[in-house]
């Protein structure tokens, strides 16, 4: 007999998100987190519109927005500059607002410790979620009917906890990944990076000339496509800064002032609060689960913070995994449902790394090698202007989808990928667009955490077939009736998964075959 349904090792953003997803479904889970309080390093700050949809479903969208450290009337946009921040060439960074019509809520930006505080507070409200802060997992092993995890408190108390499943959300040096025997594939860029967190009211004064901008990326030919990257942690004084530094640099030899003035293009007075180092690399686990042990977030994949994908990818892992673990615990998951977690999420990360992060480094490197404002000002100006569109192509193309998933009715030969295209019609394997219901709410916003059949005048026999099959399987299904005429989704029947992705859309079909496949049978 297990003490818990799921034990989650790591109570960072992703572990807490898994716990909340399970707790909202009345599952009993235990979070083991070695830190008493969240790390004070700002880290993952950019939260996409999709991530904010998750916060809506977790019941903490307003709490998260209230925790913002930059006032709501000040923008959270970014800027790319050439040479130095105060130099003469600059343009707006990725304009994520371009895809806002495809999600039902706005993006957000706040330091990761503030996000984690909101998640911790929500987890504390859910009766099924138990948290052990200040405890470290030291070993785990799969047993016949579950997983046993050895944990140790800061005072040296030792326990073994048991659960039907374990989730490792324990970051890039994951103990769970290692103990589960899951390897990882790395692509090293042989770059050592410095991370500075500092206070500088003087820099804030200099940045007044860029109203509404909260983060700044500096391209320099010497850096071959790697960025000097500066961002606000609050409005007025605190900043973080990442920059490539020579291999072998140590805390003693790091020239923080020189690095900062090279990026800014001016000397500013600053007070250092934190100095860290990290290796610029992309790492992906070779599998996302082994038996009853799953990994999510940075434990499964890590990459440099270019493009702000990291924490958002981790949250989508958590959402994908939580409904599938719940289904397995409830007994309606088919044998393929849990394996579909990795089948869907792994290729999405591989594509994020390849098609967005590494592609951006290569594109910046090629641009810097080809154009020089001193050597050929006209050619540089033309090429710079061409890049100044706010990365329209990249923003539109970042549309993680599961077209190739074994539990989705996607087109033949399709693959799961981060690269897609935003559309308002319902397509199998894609996120559901927020068309409005007659009462004004968007359709996805009104969904419960279960399968939903959207019917826009669909054949009553088809709807009845879905109801009967769901009842037979024991899978929770809601039916939402929209207006009978003119489905905004391009199909009169749309089966939506508990994570707001479309499993199937059409006019006619075999409800048993559709629902069984969506449940992993």
What is the tally of helices (H) and strands (E) in the chain?
14, 24
The alpha-carbon radius of gyration of the chain (Å, integer) is 24
**Of the residues 8, 81, 166, 169, which one makes contact with ligand FAD according to CB under 6 A:** 169
**30 belongs to the binding site for ligand FAD (CB under 6 A):** no
Q: Select the span of 38-46, 87-95, 248-256, 408-416 touching ligand FAD (CB under 6 A).
A: 38-46
**Of the residues 18, 21, 29, 44, which one makes contact with ligand FAD according to CB under 6 A:** 44
Q: Supply the minimum distance, in Å, between the C-beta of residue 229 and ligand FAD.
A: 8
Q: Select the span of 166-174, 255-263, 266-274, 374-382 touching ligand FAD (CB under 6 A).
A: 166-174
**Of the residues 310, 390, 449, 482, which one makes contact with ligand FAD according to CB under 6 A:** 310
C-beta of residue 265 within 8 angstroms of C-beta of residue 171: no
**298 belongs to the binding site for ligand FAD (CB under 6 A):** yes
Q: Supply the minimum distance, in Å, between the C-beta of residue 17 and ligand FAD.
A: 8
Cα end-to-end distance, the chain, whole Å: 27
Residue 133 or 210 having the CB closest to ligand FAD? 133
Residue 12 or 434 having the CB closest to ligand FAD? 12
**244 belongs to the binding site for ligand FAD (CB under 6 A):** no
Alpha-carbon distance 234 to 252, whole Å?
28
C-beta of residue 294 within 8 angstroms of C-beta of residue 31: no
SS3 357: helix
Residue 21 or 297 having the CB closest to ligand FAD? 297
Residue 504, beta-bridge partner list = 495
Alpha-carbon distance 267 to 503, whole Å?
55
Strands 293-295 and 158-168 turn out to be: parallel
For ligand FAD (CB under 6 A), the number of binding residues is: 34
**Of the residues 70, 94, 164, 175, which one makes contact with ligand FAD according to CB under 6 A:** 175
Q: Select the span of 37-45, 184-192, 351-359, 386-394 touching ligand FAD (CB under 6 A).
A: 37-45
Q: Supply the minimum distance, in Å, between the C-beta of residue 405 and ligand FAD.
A: 22
Q: Select the span of 31-39, 329-337, 470-478, 509-517 touching ligand FAD (CB under 6 A).
A: 31-39
**Of the residues 14, 85, 147, 293, which one makes contact with ligand FAD according to CB under 6 A:** 14
**Of the residues 195, 262, 263, 293, which one makes contact with ligand FAD according to CB under 6 A:** 195
Residue 107 or 405 having the CB closest to ligand FAD? 107
C-beta of residue 300 within 8 angstroms of C-beta of residue 349: yes
**400 belongs to the binding site for ligand FAD (CB under 6 A):** no
Q: Select the span of 27-35, 196-204, 385-393, 415-423 touching ligand FAD (CB under 6 A).
A: 27-35
**Of the residues 5, 33, 53, 358, which one makes contact with ligand FAD according to CB under 6 A:** 33
Please spell the DSSP secondary structure of 108-150, one letter per residue: EE--HHHHHHHHHHHHHH-TTEEEEETEEEEEEEEETTEEEEE
Burial 417-447 (b: 16+ CB within 10 A, else e): bbbbebeeebbbbbbbbbbebeeeebbbbeb
**32 belongs to the binding site for ligand FAD (CB under 6 A):** yes
Residue 14 or 503 having the CB closest to ligand FAD? 14
**Of the residues 18, 126, 137, 496, which one makes contact with ligand FAD according to CB under 6 A:** 137
The full 3-state SS of 202-253, as one line of letters, equals HHHHHHHHCCCEEEEEEECHHHCCCCEEEEECCCCCEEEEEEEECCCCCCCC
Give the number of other Cβ atoms within 10 Å of residue 71's Cβ. Answer: 9
**342 belongs to the binding site for ligand FAD (CB under 6 A):** no
Length of the chain, in residues: 521
* Helix (H) / strand (E) containing 281: strand 271-285
**314 belongs to the binding site for ligand FAD (CB under 6 A):** yes
Residue 352 or 417 having the CB closest to ligand FAD? 352
Alpha-carbon distance 159 to 351, whole Å?
40
Give the number of other Cβ atoms within 10 Å of residue 117's Cβ. Answer: 17
Strands (E), 383-506: 398-401, 417-419, 451-455, 477-481, 493-496, 502-506
**108 belongs to the binding site for ligand FAD (CB under 6 A):** no
**Of the residues 146, 171, 410, 488, which one makes contact with ligand FAD according to CB under 6 A:** 171
**9 belongs to the binding site for ligand FAD (CB under 6 A):** yes
**Of the residues 6, 7, 13, 18, which one makes contact with ligand FAD according to CB under 6 A:** 13
Q: Which residues bind ligand FAD (CB under 6 A)?
A: 9-15, 32-35, 43-46, 112, 136-137, 169-171, 175, 195, 278, 297-299, 305, 308-312, 314
């Amino acid at each position: 007999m297990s003490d818990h349904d799921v034990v989650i090792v790591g109570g960072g953003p992703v572990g807490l998100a898994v716990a909340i997803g399970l707790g909202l479904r009345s599952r009993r889970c235990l979070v083991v987190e070695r830190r008493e309080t969240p790390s004070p390093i700002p880290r993952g700050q950019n939260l996409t519109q999709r991530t904010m949809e998750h916060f809506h479903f977790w019941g903490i969208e307003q709490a998260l927005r209230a925790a913002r450290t930059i006032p709501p009337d000040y923008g959270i946009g970014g800027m790319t500059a050439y040479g130095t921040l105060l130099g003469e060439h600059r343009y707006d960074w990725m304009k994520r607002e371009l895809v806002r019509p495809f999600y039902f809520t706005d993006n957000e930006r706040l330091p990761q410790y503030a996000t984690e505080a909101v998640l911790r507070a929500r987890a504390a409200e859910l009766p099924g979620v138990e948290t052990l802060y200040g405890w470290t997992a030291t070993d785990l092993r799969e047993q016949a009917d579950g997983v046993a995890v050895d944990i140790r408190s800061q005072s040296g108390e030792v326990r073994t906890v048991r659960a039907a499943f374990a989730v490792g959300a324990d970051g890039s040096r994951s103990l769970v990944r290692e103990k589960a025997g899951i390897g990882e594939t790395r692509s090293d860029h042989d770059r050592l990076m410095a991370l500075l967190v500092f206070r500088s009211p003087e820099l804030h004064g200099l940045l007044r000339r860029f109203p509404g901008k909260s983060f700044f990326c500096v391209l320099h030919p010497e850096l071959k496509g790697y960025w000097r990257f500066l961002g606000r942690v609050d409005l007025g004084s605190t900043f973080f800064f990442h920059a490539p530094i020579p291999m072998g640099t140590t805390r003693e030899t790091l020239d923080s002032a020189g690095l900062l003035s090279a990026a800014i293009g001016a000397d500013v007075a600053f007070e250092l609060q934190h100095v860290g180092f990290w290796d610029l690399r992309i790492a992906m686990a070779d599998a996302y689960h082994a038996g009853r042990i799953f990994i999510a977030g940075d434990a499964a994949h890590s990459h440099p913070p270019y493009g702000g994908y990291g924490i958002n990818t981790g949250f989508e892992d958590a959402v994908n995994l939580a409904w599938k673990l719940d289904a397995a615990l409830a007994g309606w998951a088919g044998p393929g449902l849990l394996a579909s977690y990795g089948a869907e999420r792994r290729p999405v990360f591989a594509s994020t790394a390849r098609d967005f992060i590494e592609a951006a480094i290569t594109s910046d490197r090629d641009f810097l090698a080809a154009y020089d404002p001193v050597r050929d000002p006209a050619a540089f100006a033309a090429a710079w202007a061409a890049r100044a569109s706010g990365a329209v192509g990249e923003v539109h193309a970042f549309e993680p989808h599961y077209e190739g998933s074994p539990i989705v009715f996607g087109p033949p030969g399709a693959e799961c990928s981060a690269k897609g295209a935003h559309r308002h019609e319902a397509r199998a394997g894609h996120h559901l667009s927020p068309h409005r219901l007659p009462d004004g709410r968007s359709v996805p916003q009104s969904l419960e955490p279960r399968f939903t059949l959207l019917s826009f005048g669909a054949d009553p026999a088809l709807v009845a077939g879905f109801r009967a099959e769901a009842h037979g399987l024991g899978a929770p299904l809601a039916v939402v009736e929209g207006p009978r005429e003119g489905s905004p989704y391009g199909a009169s029947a749309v089966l939506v998964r508990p994570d707001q992705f479309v499993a199937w859309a059409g006019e006619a079909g075999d409800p048993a075959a559709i629902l069984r496949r969506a449940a992993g049978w």
